[in-house]
Amino acid sequence: MSETETRKRTRSGGGAARRAARGSARIETARFIERNIPNFEILSEEALEMIEAGAETVLAEIGVNFVNNPGALALWKEAGAEIEGERVRIPRGLARQLCGHAPARITQHARNPARSVEIGGRSLVLAPVYGPPFVHDAEKGRRYGTIEDFRNFVKLGQMSRWLHHSGGTLCEPTDVPVNKRHLDMLHAHMTLSDKPFMGSVTEPSRAQDSVDMCGILFGEEFVQRNTVMTSLININSPLTFDDTMMGALEVYARNNQACIVSPFIVGGAMAPVSVAGTLTQVLAEGMAGIAYAQLVRKGAPVIFGAFVTSIDMNSGAPTFGTPEASQISYGVGQLARRLKLPYRSAGAFCGSKLPDAQAAYESANSLNMGLQAGVNFMLHACGWLEGGLVASYEKFVMDADQLGALHKFAQGVTVDATTQALDAIREVGPGGHYLGCAHTQENFKTAFWRSELFDYKPFETWAEEGGRDTMQLATARVKALLESYEQPPMDPAVSEALGDFVARRKAAMPDAFL
Amino acid sequence: MSETETRKRTRSGGGAARRAARGSARIETARFIERNIPNFEILSEEALEMIEAGAETVLAEIGVNFVNNPGALALWKEAGAEIEGERVRIPRGLARQLCGHAPARITQHARNPARSVEIGGRSLVLAPVYGPPFVHDAEKGRRYGTIEDFRNFVKLGQMSRWLHHSGGTLCEPTDVPVNKRHLDMLHAHMTLSDKPFMGSVTEPSRAQDSVDMCGILFGEEFVQRNTVMTSLININSPLTFDDTMMGALEVYARNNQACIVSPFIVGGAMAPVSVAGTLTQVLAEGMAGIAYAQLVRKGAPVIFGAFVTSIDMNSGAPTFGTPEASQISYGVGQLARRLKLPYRSAGAFCGSKLPDAQAAYESANSLNMGLQAGVNFMLHACGWLEGGLVASYEKFVMDADQLGALHKFAQGVTVDATTQALDAIREVGPGGHYLGCAHTQENFKTAFWRSELFDYKPFETWAEEGGRDTMQLATARVKALLESYEQPPMDPAVSEALGDFVARRKAAMPDAFL
């Protein structure tokens, strides 16, 4: 955001932004991670070139389908692709060239300017779980999600120190008609949180509603000139771009809003069973989708996405936090960086039915990978359970706590005279201890990351306090966070206009539940 | 092991090795990990040089203490160090020069030659938890360890496909007198497992017993010419080398057996509160200890160790799986590689009192780090609970299962015509699926790692089967493994000689419980 735009926006948005900025001081939220560590590069130059050449072969010889979308076919034809029915064969080099128009870094604005995020380069933006029809907590068990659950998750996200983004479909509010859910969900993100959020993608008209509501929240002119939403456009792998998702992408691209263009891969089902084959297909798909966004509007902000899981060949179930998914995500990171595009992957993925040890091993595998793979936007960074079928209250706060460790690790290691502490080593000497020395006293407060959830007490104290496991500690934390939640302030005129918009749009449509 | 030595040993060791090799076919155990992935390098060249210069300053100006050890002081004096009381000041460059005599890679022989391991270079050898006085399982809870527990853990280690090493003090067998425990522990490792193991370090005489028992198991000449034990020598940080540990190191070094020379650091207590300060001290300590081993016997096999945790400054409790510990372990890996020494660090570290989500997040953080930090020997790779106070049955099999994922990830990504699978992508085409295609059929069995513990079933099946969490699944797996355990075959003459040795040594000492 330029200086001018900040001023303009503050003028037009009234006191809301200023009040929000003041209010936000209560929860010290990290804005986003700026990595000071190297990326882990799993593929050699030779391997990368072979994958890139293979992806061009896929696009040129096999091609991709744009389903039910004559407009897309026309754009592709004009750009020089060969069209046969719905199949689009893209000449070698064309998709990559078109990807070159996309910006390498996106500023996604929040209504509270202190919460705006940078997506790209060395940044990492963390957003919560997206899409589950079910929710789970220790008390009430597994059940369909409701708008009340949805609002609770928005509140938990707003309260989470290490979460930078309010996300999108935190859970499906199944008690609201399908065709009206997006209105209630957006309203919740806009009013209960002051962090950035995602738009609806389930219909082009819902994407347009998202843009219109942002016009009320940010001002219409501001929206046209700045990115205020990042929305999730899945590719129907293999190699298929359906009209619903592309319709939403078209709305967002035309309105200068960011899309995550994401092959959705269960390896062995939607892509080859091998890592190299999956990488080749993912690159072809990602480039085709991003190139199309550039055909819709040159310079449209996009993020190269990769949602990748492996499959349990015994049962056919998708598996999470596995080594092959990590290898693919590391590889796509390298490929995305060579395209100079922001990268989305990873998340607190797990297949477990409970927020137990399986869930935590699998999630930690994927969270660590995401940080080291150079991911710029991590959806599902907290709350994901049971292969994404369930949004878990307890796991939301467990994962969100672990995100703090990523922040600390990403700072890297500063080696200078102060941190090397030769004077402290001299002061303490052989056989001494550092607890009381000056260097420790000066630095201990910020020296070590500590969990706000885990139990660090001695066994006896822990046992006296009930011997609670992590799930029980998390149940208590969920309760405490929701009880202490405070709604971020908003200009009453904006609040009223948003409410009016939702009411008007709802009244204009009959309820639909399919 | 050279061809000649293999033949000699097979002759002298009788049919035991051959029989063991045949017997071992029942459990397909990975021998060790040979990494085909890069190391994660967190420190710049400049930072590494500053730490190396700082470590030389620590050794030359502050020095280290060799406590109660006139022999060590004499060796250091002869080598050119400045001695003042028990303080040894080592001139710049001397310790590094002495470290240059140590081998870069060690073959540790197992009695079953198929289970011998390579420690150094790109290898990673995984060994179980070491040292807990307590054990824990779901049924009986937390209690002092016994020799029966110890034997159970040896059996679980022998049955673990991804564990390469039987370890050492899996738990303290507190029902055996302190001065005789090492005999029963070594006897259990030697007879209930055919994987490599560790020697006793709690007294020089116990180290000698370990060498003598290995003489019976491997043949005395074989022991003098080959490494058959890797033993854990902790440095009493900061900068102190006590006579017990050094006495054991001297026995092992003289007998050509490997020692892990390991600063034992709780950051902020035994080392500066900063990562750079800790790295500087750890390098100084490691170099001094390894240099000393070279003074005892030039060319003695050693491993550069780093046991590092941070501290919770609120409670003073050590914390595990934290970002600072990871940063330090990554850094020490780089420093050890510049010394061309094998490196020991990481483990399934956690502070949790139960094998729950906390335990799993913390352990996964550290396990992943260990693989990517270039660790060559990972002690505590499974079973560690409650800051190392407890060996957990359930966590042993949970962690051991996760070690399989490390194996798969370490293979790296092969990109060639077969794995790239362009023909499969062509065959399936846009909108198809890969489950039935030829490439999938040919490769699915080895394509994806799968857990042998976690639940991958649909929610309904899982719920019908009792809705078990990972702890309950692990309890069942522990039981199944112990029930299906088979003792690896051993030459009866060797078995009898080992039993006789233990009985004779026990009879020669009164019981001691302190």
Q: Rounded CA gap, B136 and A463, in Å?
A: 14
Q: Rounded CA gap, A120 and A375, in Å?
A: 8
Residue A311: is its pLDDT beyond 70? yes
Which of A415, A433, A445 is the best residue to mutate to test the B interface, defined by the most B CB atoms within 10 Å of its own CB? A415
Q: How big is the A-B interface in CB pairs under 8 Å?
A: 407
* 3-state SS class at A463: helix
The pLDDT of A50-62, averaged and rounded, is 98
B29 with B112: CB under 8 angstroms?
Answer: no
B188 with B149: CB under 8 angstroms?
Answer: no
pLDDT at A18: 43
**Chain A stretch 238-257, residues whose beta carbon is closer than 8 A to a beta carbon of chain B:** 238-240
User: Which one-letter DSSP state was computed for residue B40?
Assistant: P
B64 touches chain A (CB under 8 A): yes
Q: Tell me: the pLDDT tens digits for B241-297? A: 999 999 999 999 999 999 999 999 999 999 999 999 999 999 999 999 999 999 999
DSSP A388-409: GTEEEHHHHHHHHHHHHHHHHH
- From B466, which residue of chain A is nearest by alpha-carbon distance? A353
With the CA atoms of B268, B271, B275 and B280 taken in that order, what torsion angle do they form, in degrees rounded to the nearest 10?
170
Structural tokens at position A47 = 């391997």
Using alpha carbons only, give the angle B442, B445, B449 rounded to the nearest 5 degrees: 135
Q: Rounded CA gap, B405 and B449, in Å?
A: 6
Using alpha carbons only, give the angle A281, A230, A132 rounded to the nearest 5 degrees: 75
Q: Rounded CA gap, A309 and B183, in Å?
A: 48
Q: Rounded CA gap, B315 and B300, in Å?
A: 41
Element (H, E) at B384: strand B384-385
pLDDT at B43: 98
The pLDDT of A143-150, averaged and rounded, is 98
B364 touches chain A (CB under 8 A): yes
User: Do the strands B87-89 and B64-66 form a parallel or antiparallel pair, or are they unpaired?
Assistant: antiparallel
| Residue B90 burial (10 A CB sphere; 0-12, 13-18, 19+) | buried
Residue from the list A50, A142, A457 with its beta carbon closest to the beta carbon of B315:
A457
B138 touches chain A (CB under 8 A): no
> How does residue A27 score in pLDDT terms, banded at 50, 70 and 90?
low
Cβ within 8 Å, pair B413-A276: yes
Which residues in chain B have their CB less than 8 angstroms from residue A274's CB? Answer: 418-421, 439, 443, 447
Cβ within 8 Å, pair B447-A324: yes
Q: Rounded CA gap, B362 and B268, in Å?
A: 20
Q: Tell me: the pLDDT tens digits for A273-285? A: 999 999 999 999 9
Q: What is the 3-state secondary structure (H, E, C) of A83-106?
A: EECCEEECCCCHHHHHHCCCCCEE
> How does residue B316 score in pLDDT terms, banded at 50, 70 and 90?
confident
pLDDT at A26: 52
Phi, psi of A315 (to 5 degrees): -115, -15
DSSP B319-363: E-S-HHHHHHHHHHHHHHHHTT--EE---S----SSSSHHHHHHH
Residue A89: is its pLDDT beyond 70? yes
pLDDT at B444: 87
Structural tokens at position B141 = 């809870």
Which residues in chain B have their CB less than 8 angstroms from residue A332's CB? Answer: none
How far are the Cα atoms of A136, A178, A454 from residue A146, in angstroms, in the given order? 12, 12, 29
Q: Tell me: the pLDDT tens digits for A455-489? A: 999 999 999 999 999 999 999 999 999 999 999 99
B106 with B342: CB under 8 angstroms?
Answer: yes
DSSP B446-463: HHS---SSS--S-HHHHH
Residue B25: is its pLDDT beyond 60? no
Tokens 């070279």 belong to residue = B294
Phi, psi of A310 (to 5 degrees): -100, 180
Element (H, E) at B135: strand B134-137
Cβ within 8 Å, pair B365-A363: no
Structural tokens at position A464 = 């006296």
Q: Which amino acid is at A81?
A: A
A464 touches chain B (CB under 8 A): no
Cβ within 8 Å, pair B324-A445: no
| Residue A366 burial (10 A CB sphere; 0-12, 13-18, 19+) | buried
pLDDT at A25: 39
Cβ within 8 Å, pair A357-B447: no
* 3-state SS class at B381: coil
Q: What is the 3-state secondary structure (H, E, C) of A41-76?
A: CCCCHHHHHHHHHHHHHHHHHHCEEECCCHHHHHHH
Q: Tell me: the pLDDT tens digits for A96-133? A: 999 999 999 999 999 999 999 999 999 999 999 999 99
Which of the pair, B501 or B29, is modelled with greater confidence?
A: B501
* 3-state SS class at A499: helix
pLDDT at B131: 98
Residue A259: is its pLDDT beyond 50? yes
A480 touches chain B (CB under 8 A): no
Residue B179: is its pLDDT beyond 90? yes
Cβ within 8 Å, pair B313-A447: yes
**Chain A stretch 44-63, residues whose beta carbon is closer than 8 A to a beta carbon of chain B:** 46-47, 50-51, 54, 57-58, 61-63
Tokens 């939607």 belong to residue = A270
Phi, psi of B473 (to 5 degrees): -60, -35
User: Do the strands A123-126 and A377-378 form a parallel or antiparallel pair, or are they unpaired?
Assistant: parallel
What percentage of chain A reaches a pLDDT higher than 90?
A: 91
Strand partners, A64: A88
Q: Which amino acid is at B369?
A: M
Mean pLDDT, chain B, whole residue set: 94
Structural tokens at position B104 = 């870069």
Residue A268: is its pLDDT beyond 80? yes
**Chain B stretch 382-401, residues whose beta carbon is closer than 8 A to a beta carbon of chain A:** 386, 389, 398
Tokens 């099946």 belong to residue = B461
Cβ within 8 Å, pair B273-A434: yes
Q: Tell me: the pLDDT tens digits for A431-453? A: 999 998 999 999 988 899 999 99
Which residues in chain A have their CB less than 8 angstroms from residue B426's CB? Answer: 61-62
Cβ within 8 Å, pair A430-B62: yes
Q: Which amino acid is at B239?
A: L
pLDDT at A377: 98
DSSP A350-363: ---SSSSHHHHHHH
Cα-atom radius of gyration of chain A, to the nearest Å? Answer: 23
Strand partners, A319: A310
Residue from the list B267, B402, B413 with its beta carbon closest to the beta carbon of A43:
B413
Phi, psi of B340 (to 5 degrees): 55, 45
Alpha-carbon distance A398 to nearest alpha carbon in chain B (angstroms): 8
B358 with B352: CB under 8 angstroms?
Answer: yes
Which residues in chain A have their CB less than 8 angstroms from residue B428's CB? Answer: 238
A150 with A406: CB under 8 angstroms?
Answer: no
B350 with B339: CB under 8 angstroms?
Answer: no
| Residue A20 burial (10 A CB sphere; 0-12, 13-18, 19+) | buried
In this prediction the pTM is 0.94
Q: Tell me: the pLDDT tens digits for B411-440? A: 999 999 999 999 999 999 999 999 989 999
Q: Tell me: the pLDDT tens digits for B26-48? A: 557 889 999 999 999 999 999 99
Alpha-carbon distance A154 to nearest alpha carbon in chain B (angstroms): 23
Closest CA to A341 of A124, A103, A107, A126: A103
Closest CA to A141 of A393, A396, A474, A360: A393
Tokens 């991590």 belong to residue = A378
Q: Tell me: the pLDDT tens digits for B127-138? A: 999 999 999 999
Cβ within 8 Å, pair B274-A402: no
| Residue B431 burial (10 A CB sphere; 0-12, 13-18, 19+) | middle
pLDDT at A513: 76
Cβ within 8 Å, pair B365-A361: no
Q: Rounded CA gap, B7 and B217, in Å?
A: 16
